[in-house]
Amino acid sequence: GAVVSQHPSRVICKSGTSVKIECRSLDFQATTMFWYRQFPKKSLMLMATSNEGSKATYEQGVEKDKFLINHASLTLSTLTVTSAHPEDSSFYICSARDLAASGVQETQYFGPGTRLLVL
Amino acid sequence: GENVEQHPSTLSVQEGDSAVIKCTYSDSASNYFPWYKQELGKRPQLIIDIRSNVGEKKDQRIAVTLNKTAKHFSLHITETQPEDSAVYFCAATRAGVTGGGNKLTFGTGTQLKVEL
């Protein structure tokens, strides 16, 4: 089945530094990937839609200069949290769609998530 | 945009009993409704989904029903087991829409606890 990996799984950084999170589709090509943020005991909040070869589409209220997204290939999207602050601490999860799937192409497969702690 | 409401927020059942989680959506154009199970600290896992051209779908102990007229859909888990304990999220989207990326709108989640 479709597998999505995420790296790193956990990161601790100092305030003011930048952190890059990678999302990879391991056995399929994903022209579209999604980035979510999840607070403890809360739902998944869509941050942006990452499109291969074009600019990401950000949800209302998400700062595009703060959360840089790059979808350089059909299997890799990256999210960079720039100048991180403690309020950016959260669980970040990516997902990808397998457009070549013979079944439901709308199905999103999730990565394992990255827990970010900014000190 | 789409708005999905989910109830209840927490649900405790005895092992072997059934559990039902309900969701309502606002966009009548939504036509794909997946359900995800998320264990603590883990990724959401798709457990079942339904498209708007059917009213019910079943996979072993899990079933989903859809009422397009009322714009609500439900997850039914029968013969619950302790390993069913997790947070369950419903979601809705317009499938087959180009450009928009078929964004999923998630419900607020239901913490299911199956007690021995």
Question: How far apart are alpha carbons A43 and B105 in whole angstroms?
Answer: 10
Considering chain B, what percentage of its residues have pLDDT values greater than 70? 95
Sign of torsion over alpha carbons A22, A28, A32, A33: negative
- One-letter amino acid identity for A16? G
Is the Cβ–Cβ distance between A107 and A98 less than 8 Å?
Answer: yes
DSSP-derived pairing of the beta strands B32-38 and B86-92: antiparallel
Is the Cβ–Cβ distance between B28 and A101 less than 8 Å?
Answer: no
Structural tokens at position B27: 């966009």
Sheet of A76-81: strands edge to edge?
A4-7, A19-25, A76-81, A67-73
DSSP-derived pairing of the beta strands B86-92 and B105-106: antiparallel
Q: In this complex, do A43 and B108 lie within 8 Å of one another by their Cβ atoms?
A: yes
Question: How far apart are alpha carbons A106 and A104 in whole angstroms?
Answer: 5
What confidence score (pLDDT) does residue A108 get? 86
Structural tokens at position B22: 């309900």
Q: In this complex, do A104 and B51 lie within 8 Å of one another by their Cβ atoms?
A: yes
Nearest residue, CB atoms, A97 vs list B36, B41, B102: B102
Considering chain B, what percentage of its residues have pLDDT values greater than 90? 84
- The gap between the terminal CA atoms of chain A, to the nearest Å, is 37
What confidence score (pLDDT) does residue B97 get? 61
A76-105 pLDDT, tens digit per residue, is 999 999 999 999 999 999 999 876 654 556
Q: Which of 34-63 (A) contact B at CB < 8 A? A: 34, 41-44, 46, 49, 51, 57
Nearest residue, CB atoms, A112 vs list B42, B105, B106: B42
Residue B46: its chain A contacts at CB < 8 A? 107-109
Q: In this complex, do B46 and A107 lie within 8 Å of one another by their Cβ atoms?
A: yes
A2-32 pLDDT, tens digit per residue, is 899 999 999 999 999 999 999 999 988 888 8
Q: In this complex, do B106 and A44 lie within 8 Å of one another by their Cβ atoms?
A: yes
Residue A100 has a CB neighbour count (10 Å cut-off) of 11
Q: In this complex, do B95 and A42 lie within 8 Å of one another by their Cβ atoms?
A: no
CA nearest B111 in A: which residue?
A41
Chain B residues contacting A via beta carbons under 8 Å: 32, 34, 36, 41-46, 49, 51, 87, 89, 93, 95-96, 101-109, 111
At which residue do the structure tokens 């100092």 appear?
Answer: A14
Question: How far apart are alpha carbons A93 and B87 in whole angstroms?
Answer: 16
Mean pLDDT of B39-54: 92
